[in-house]
Structure 1
C-alpha cells in the first residue's frame, strides 16, 4: 500500500511531542520514500511528483553499469532500470504512478526532481524516462525514430510535413496513436533541452472537462468508423479505421482517439463533424497551459486526455529537443 494512504492513527505518539496531522504525516512519509506528491496548481487533476535528490542519486548509482546502448539493445534491461527507480523510492513510486494512471479523475502526472542540473544529461534523461514508462507499461515501437522512443528538435524554421516541429503555430489538441494499429494507452513527453525559448507550453484538456463532450459523444457519427492516415515522416504506410469515441471505460465513460491533421473523412457529414469538433476543442476554456521544465516528464492517459502545444515566440536561436514515448499499460 502506498504511504500516501497512510493512516495517521497508526503513528506512534511520544509523550510531550507534538503529533503531526494526517496531512503532515503523509507528506513526511512521501519525502522519506524519495518523492513528494501534490496537485498541480494549474490543473488539480494533474499530479505533480517531485523526486528527492537522494532518490535520484540512488537511481543513478543503481543504473550506472548500464549504458544507453545496452538499454536500447536489451528490452528486458529497461524493466531493471524501472525497478531501480522504484527501489530508490522504497517500492512506493510504482504503485502510486499506476494508481494515478488508472484513476480517470486524474490520469496524468508531471514528474521532476531535485538536484543539480546536469550539463550533458541526454543519456540520463533517456534512462529516467525509460524507468518511468516501464513502471506503468511498455512503450510501442516508434516508427518515426526507429526505437522504443523518439527524439526530435523544434527550431525557428521548419519545412516538415506535420505540425510537430513547427514552432510558430499552436499544435491543436489531440490524442496520440490515431493512425497506428496498436493500442496507445499513455503518452510520455520529456523536455531534454531548450535555448532561446519563450512560449511553447504544453496544452492539456481532460475529456470530462470538455464542455461540448455530450454534443459530440451523442452525435450519430460518434461511433462510426473514420479513416486515419499519416504523412511520410511518420514512417507508417497503412491506413486504420476507428471511431473518434472508440470505447468506454469500466464506468461507461468515453475514451477518445482524435487528431485533426491525420483524419481522412470520406464524405461531407464526416468532414463537418470533425471540423466542428476541432473548432470546439480549440475554443475550450478548460484547456490548461502547463510549463514543462527541462528534465521534467509529462505523462498522460492518452484516451481521456487531449494534449497540444502553444506557439513559440520567434527567435533565430530557438531550439527545443523533446523525447516521446507512447505505449500500452501492463499489470506492473
Structure 2
C-alpha cells in the first residue's frame, strides 16, 4: 500500500485520545478515547436524555462541543483532518471504559450519544427515512425476510457507497455496533477508491458519466427515483468521487446493465479490500465517496443477533 498518513496537526497538544494507523492499511486511522474522557463524557451526557437529542437538533451540537472540550478542543480538528484528507478519509473510534460501570441500556444510550457527538464534530447527519430519525438502528439475526441485503447475515454484503437513491449529499457514513450475541464473522469490509485496481478502466469508460436511474426497496421509506452517474464528480485534486450500489441501480439498456455488472464483479474480485473487526461500542466513520464499504458473512447460529446504528450526512461547508 502507498497510503499516506494524515497530518494530525493542531495548535494545541492532542489531549485525551490517541491516533494510530490500522495495521492492515495505514489509510484507516484508529482513534482511542481515554478512560477519563469517556467517564467525564458519560457523567456530563446524563444531563440530556436520548429523547431530548432526538427532539432538539441544537443539543446534538452541544454534546459534540462538550466532547471536544474534554479533549482541549483537539478531537474535532483531528477528525476533520482525517476525513478531509483523501489519502485517509476514515477512522475507527473506540474508547477505554470499564464494561461494569453501566448496565446494557445505559451503555447503549451512551454509545448513541457518543456517535451523535462524533458525527456533529464533522458535519450534519441527514434524516434517515428508514428509521425516522437522524440515525437508524437495525438488527441482523439468523433468519431474515427483508427486501435488501442489509439484514441478511449469511451472505457477503457487496462493496458500495451509501446515498445513491437520495437527494441529500452523503459525504460521510458512520456505522456503530451497539450490541451482539453469538456472533462469528461479519467484519466490516473497506476498499479505498484509489486502491481499486481497475478504477481507471471504469472511470475512463464511456458509461462513467452517463446518468443512471437509482431507486430503493420499500423498507427504505423513500419514494421516487433519482438519476446520477456512478462517477458523479471530481474532488479538488481532480480525482473521482463515486456513488454506486449494485442493489439499487436500475439500468435502462444493455450497455448500462453490462457496465454496472462488470463494475460490481470487479469490485468484489479486487484483492485490496480490508477486513475491520468492530468491537461493541466502537464506530467506523468513512468518507463515503472515497471509500466503498460492505460486510462479510456471519457463521450461522440460531441465536445470532447484532444491533447496529447508522448515521450519514454532509460535511460542514
TM-score (norm 2): 0.95
Q: 2:26 aligns with which of 16, 32, 44?
A: 44
User: 1:62: how far off?
Assistant: 2.3
SS of the aligned residue for 1:177 comes to coil
In the alignment, which residue of structure 2 is the partner of 1:168? 154
Pick aligned residue for 1:97 from 67, 79, 83: 79
Mapping for residues 1-332 of structure 1, pairs under 5 Å: 4-5=8-9, 29-30=13-14, 33-117=15-99, 118-120=102-104, 121-331=107-317
> How far has the Cα of 1:43 moved from its partner?
1.4
Deviations 1:223-250 (A, max 9, x none): 0000000000000011000000000000
Deviations 1:275-325 (A, max 9, x none): 000000000100000001000010000000000000000000100000000
Return the alpha-carbon distance in structure 2 between the equivalents of residues 312 and 257 of structure 1: 26
Moved over 3 A (4+): 2-7
Please state whether the residue corresponding to 2:27 is helix, strand or coil: strand
Cα contact 2:216–2:222 (8 A) shared by 1: yes
Alpha-carbon contact 2:10-2:77 (below 8 Å) kept? no
Measured after TM superposition, the shift of residue 61 of structure 1 is 2.3
5+ long unaligned stretches in structure 1: 8-25
Deviation at 1:119, TM superposition (A): 3.5
For structure 2, the 5+ residue unaligned runs are: 1-5
CA distance in 2, matches of 1:104, 1:173: 18
Q: Distance in 2 between matches of 1:198 and 1:218?
A: 40
Deviation at residue 3 of structure 1 after TM alignment:
10
Q: Is the contact made by 2:171 and 2:287 (CA closer than 8 Å) also made in structure 1?
A: yes
> Matches of 1:242 and 1:232 in 2, distance apart?
21
> Does the residue aligned with 2:29 lie in a helix, a strand or coil?
strand
1:87-145 deviations in Å (ceiling 9; x for gaps): 11110000000010000000000000011124311111110000000000000000000
Q: Is the 8 A contact 1:78 1:131 kept in 2?
A: yes
Q: 1:4 to 1:247 in 2, by over 3 A?
A: closer
